[in-house]
Amino acid sequence: MTHNPSSLSRPSERIIEAASRLFFRQGYCSTGINQIISESGVAKASFYTHFSSKEALAMAWLRQREERWIEQLTERISQHQLTEKRVSAMYTMWYDQIREEGYRGCGFINMAGEFSDEKSPVRALVRDHKERVRQVVANNVLNEYRPMMEPEVFDELVNTIYSLFDGAIIQAQNFMQDWPIDSAMKTSMKTLSHYRSGAVL
């Protein structure tokens, strides 16, 4: 998810990379534009040429992060045919993210928590992202189960697996340990077995 700053040539890329490090390490509210400018090595005029405000920068960072993250997730899922293997691949994403970024949790949830206004564009972007992840779970991970179940039962399964998956990284951040991810994955597998045994085959 991170990049070598020396490999980033465009000012906008360097700004987003610096913002990514600082937002994760310090939080959005505690990170000032001047610090972002200093760490990205661009002129203030260059910053405002690319981003009208710190919030606009946050939106750009989240959009970039979503594009890369969803791409990685769908790629990992597509490597497996069995649903259980696809679910396991989802959780592997969390393990890799912890190793790369530390126990910093979900960048989207972290960012949303710093905007109290529910109508904030940042909050809306985060909600849209989470819905997109839920749709990946439905259409790319659990699609094998759809024809076996009534629509409301399938939706219940999707919501359960999605909630376990999305909540795991938050609790791993809270406890700064891996066990929430292990527990969520095991529970997801038991849930699949339960729903499969009750499905109309």
Lowest-pLDDT choice from 19-23, 34-38, 53-57, 194-198: 194-198
Whole-number pLDDT of residue 69:
96
- The pTM (predicted TM-score) of the whole model is 0.90
pLDDT tens readout for residues 134-144: 999 999 999 99
Give CA separation, 57 vs 16, 27, 39, 76, 159, in Å.
7, 14, 15, 29, 31
For the chain, the straight-line distance linking the first and the last C-alpha, in angstroms and rounded, comes to: 40
- Give Cβ neighbours of residue 179 (< 8 Å, ≥ 6 apart): 172
